[in-house]
Amino acid sequence: MLYLTRKVGESVIINDDIEVTVIDIRGKSIKLGFTFPSTATVLRREIFERIQAEQRAAEATKEAGARTEQEATEKPPE
């Protein structure tokens, strides 16, 4: 992990097209501003993790449904 020290008004640039600027610092809270291309997706970690969990659950449900469908269409042994 990279650690940087920035003051209010200072920025960091990521991959030539993402800029993160320190807007305000109050106690333990930092307000950041982001400038990025409209094609980029920016999510808070907790939202990203929730989406990932929902996608894993949906995939597991899809796989379980496919197994159930396959079992239902299999011919019983003679």
| Residue 77: per-residue pLDDT | 67
Structure-model confidence comparison of residues 70 and 56, the more confident one: 56
Pick 43 or 78 by higher pLDDT: 43
Tokens 């097209």 belong to which residue? 17
Q: Please name the residues in contact with 32: beta carbons below 8 A apart, sequence gap of 6 or more.
A: 20, 21, 22, 23
Whether this prediction's pTM lies above 0.85 is answered by no
Rounded Cα–Cα distance for residues 57 and 60 (Å): 5
CA-nearest of 33, 32, 40 to 15 is 40
Q: What is the pLDDT of residue 76?
A: 65
Q: If you search the block for the tokens 């808070």, which residue do you land on?
A: 44
What pLDDT digit, counting tens, does each position of 20-56 carry?
999 999 999 999 999 999 999 999 999 999 999 999 9
